[in-house]
Structure 1
Amino acid sequence: MKKSPILITLALVVFAIFPLVVKDQYYMHIAILILYYALVSQAWNILSGYSGQFSFGHAAFFGTGAYTSSILFTKLGMSPWIGLIIGAVIAAVIGLFIGYLSFRFKLRGVFFSLGTLAFAEILRIIIQNFDVFNKTLGVLIPYKPDPLMFQFSSRTTYYYIILIFAIAVTALVYYISRSKLGYNLVAIRENEDAAQSLGVNTYKNKMIAIAISASLTAIGGTFYAQYMLFIEPATTFSNDVSINILLPAIIGGAGTVLGPIVGSLIIIPIGELTTTWFGNFVGVNLMAYGVILILVMLYLPEGIVGWFQNKFGKKKSAKKNKDSSISGGEEVGTLKN
């Protein structure tokens, strides 16, 4: 009997009853951030973890979702639930545009990474220079609790919403990882030229991956805006945003379903608690992230989940091969007798 379904069910039960057990609002806030970063990092994982197209510019998609829903809400009174969908579509279009410029002209590796970084910076500069986006002042979202307007009086409601989002995206990643698309993306990551020579349409698969990744990241941006009730270019389009999005996946294990979740469970509490304990020391949370990242890169280059899978997966495989060889030897002995 496989243990994975049992562990997943247990984890879901723990997440579901967490607000019923923990009443402290600060710890509730940390739990929301864990799920939120698991969501956006999972979205990054689709493009960069599975297909190997390492993006340093996912802030472009995140900011697009945050600003689209916020501007439509504050300027036109449109529900952020609708803005969430519109923002996801716009982000997907932007992702396809970036993908066309990058993949059509065969930008790979560091060149693709720098291209995504540059595009996020371009969007940040555009936002800072147009009145419709309030330039550098940002957007202050008026708080009037109304479920139809994606605003709630309790953090518990925000918690369950982001929990549903995170579960849905993780389920999607699980499905992709076991679909033809997932296998094609992994083949592209391992050796794109070889995959193409075997008939994989690398351009098409990468375009699908970047569109899905961008739209899901934009959904995370909308949630962030409605939860924080204030956004500005520095907190939505900056390099820090892109780094915070990719860190959980790298630490947990890029290219694995559970990697972004495990990474978020580790680095978000550490970052929040170090900021609380050493509030006078500016940037201490970033120092903590840096130390964790260095340790992971040195000792667990494939991430925590990747290391776990390799170690125990190889043991199971070796045991299975040993049992097969023993069984085969017995059969040969029987035939000889």
Structure 2
Amino acid sequence: MTRAALLCLGALAAALVYPLLVPNYLVNIGMLMLFTAFLGQSWNLAGGYAGQTSFGHVVFFGVGAYTSTILQVTYGWNPWLAWPIAMAAGGAVGWMIAVLSFRAGLRGSYFALITLAFAEVFRILANSVPFTRGGLGMLIKADQRPINFQFKDPIWIYYLALVLCVISLLIAWQIARSRFGARLVAIRENEDAARALGIDVFAEKVKVLTLSGAMCAAGGTFYAQKYLYIDPSIAFGVDKSVEMLLVSMVGGAGTIFGPLIGSVALTVINEATRSLASVVPALKNVQPLSLVVYGVMLVLIVARLPDGLMGLFRRRPRHA
């Protein structure tokens, strides 16, 4: 067994034992790390491997959250059964955005802005149409039974987030070692050259955005069930898109473990700055302080570590 495999197994064993050794507060922090890493990985598939930067990735998150919640609250569906339907809806929206954008030849900053526009359109629709209950949002009835996707013990929510995170890592690992992944990297580096090599650039970009949308929608369903509430500002808020982009960029876009490392780093920073702001009176007016630190960190990463924090773990070439 390779050293990398041993490290992965050791990290997984530590993640499994972690909630059994710490108080509920830290269990919740661990859950947030894993869940944010999962969302970051969904962005990473399109933005990291394929180079299709999205500023409005939250549109898939919101579609997944609202689809599952509407099916559960309005039509009485079991949330476990609504989950794959929500993923299909997120994938369908990803396919639609991809076809409309890439058929029109949008790329780079133009594609990033069109995704942001779609997120805003969906937010306005969610605020306006009656079946989403507008700005009041949708409240899921508390039940606390596993069959209804609710748990009394936060440890089980943590383990569910761990399963999602592991699945996302396996998907990224499979893509990274596949021909599909090689085609995506070729597209990221130079679309015109990839097209000249015979790669169907349009089809590959549609595939990866569809997969990315389905994954992100799964995260939206998880969020709605965890907090038992969703509204347009939460479901389609730009801050969630920024969070997905940040964890990938800080950790290392286009890498398997980049979103996980970025999620751990940013979650620790968020909790540290929150504690610092509560202790230092002068910082209480800087709200949220974590965003200021995020911005500084992102500038430093881009300037000094273009490969993100993962660049620190890569072997440097030896000089004679």
What's the TM-score once normalised by structure 2's chain length? 0.95
Correspondences of 1:25-104 after superposition (within 5 Å): 25-104=24-103
1 CA distance for matches of 2:316 and 2:198?
29
For structure 2, the residue ranges without an aligned partner over 5 or more in a row are 279-283
Per-residue displacement from partner, 1:34-85 (whole Å, max 9, x unpaired)?
Answer: 0000001001100010000000111100001111111111112211111211
User: Secondary structure at the residue paired with 2:253?
Assistant: coil
| Counterpart in the other structure of 1:252 | 251
> Given the alignment, which residue of 288, 293, 296 partners 1:288?
293
Correspondences of 1:303-322 after superposition (within 5 Å): 303-309=308-314, 312=315, 314-315=317-318
Per-residue displacement from partner, 1:280-306 (whole Å, max 9, x unpaired)?
Answer: 442112112112112211211221113
Letter of the 1:158 counterpart:
I
| Counterpart in the other structure of 2:281 | none
Correspondences of 1:135-146 after superposition (within 5 Å): 135-146=134-145
Larger Rg: 1
Letter of the 1:21 counterpart:
L
Letter of the 1:66 counterpart:
A
2 CA distance for matches of 1:173 and 1:64?
23
Correspondences of 1:232-271 after superposition (within 5 Å): 232-271=231-270
Superposed CA RMSD in Å reads 1.4
Per-residue displacement from partner, 1:140-180 (whole Å, max 9, x unpaired)?
Answer: 11111111110110110000011011101110110011101
| Counterpart in the other structure of 1:302 | 307
2 CA distance for matches of 1:277 and 1:236?
29
1 CA distance for matches of 2:261 and 2:48?
15
Correspondences of 1:160-239 after superposition (within 5 Å): 160-239=159-238
User: Secondary structure at the residue paired with 1:76?
Assistant: coil
- Give yes or no for contact 1:256–1:306 (8 Å, CA) kept in 2: no
Q: CA deviation at 1:275?
A: 2.0
2 CA distance for matches of 1:270 and 1:171?
27
2 CA distance for matches of 1:163 and 1:213?
19
Letter of the 1:6 counterpart:
L
Letter of the 2:307 counterpart:
E
| Counterpart in the other structure of 2:7 | 7
| Counterpart in the other structure of 1:333 | none
2 CA distance for matches of 1:307 and 1:85?
37
2 CA distance for matches of 1:276 and 1:101?
45
Per-residue displacement from partner, 1:220-240 (whole Å, max 9, x unpaired)?
Answer: 111111111111111120111
Provide the aligned length of Structure 1 versus Structure 2: 314
| Counterpart in the other structure of 2:122 | 123
1 CA distance for matches of 2:153 and 2:293?
30
User: Is 2:18 the partner of 1:18?
Assistant: yes
Q: CA deviation at 1:186?
A: 0.2
Letter of the 2:119 counterpart:
A
Q: CA deviation at 1:308?
A: 2.9
Q: Hey, which bits of structure 1, 4+ residues long, moved more than 6 A?
A: none
The range that moved more, 156-165 or 230-239, is 230-239
Letter of the 1:18 counterpart:
Y
User: Secondary structure at the residue paired with 2:68?
Assistant: helix
What's the TM-score once normalised by structure 1's chain length? 0.90
Q: CA deviation at 1:313?
A: 5.1
Letter of the 2:165 counterpart:
A
User: Secondary structure at the residue paired with 1:314?
Assistant: coil
Per-residue displacement from partner, 1:208-261 (whole Å, max 9, x unpaired)?
Answer: 100100000000111111111111111120111100111111000000001000
Per-residue displacement from partner, 1:103-127 (whole Å, max 9, x unpaired)?
Answer: 1121110000000000000000000
2 CA distance for matches of 1:236 and 1:91?
13
1 CA distance for matches of 2:172 and 2:317?
24
1 CA distance for matches of 2:249 and 2:171?
19
1 CA distance for matches of 2:313 and 2:230?
38
Q: CA deviation at 1:307?
A: 4.5
1 CA distance for matches of 2:128 and 2:34?
33
The range that moved more, 275-284 or 4-13, is 275-284
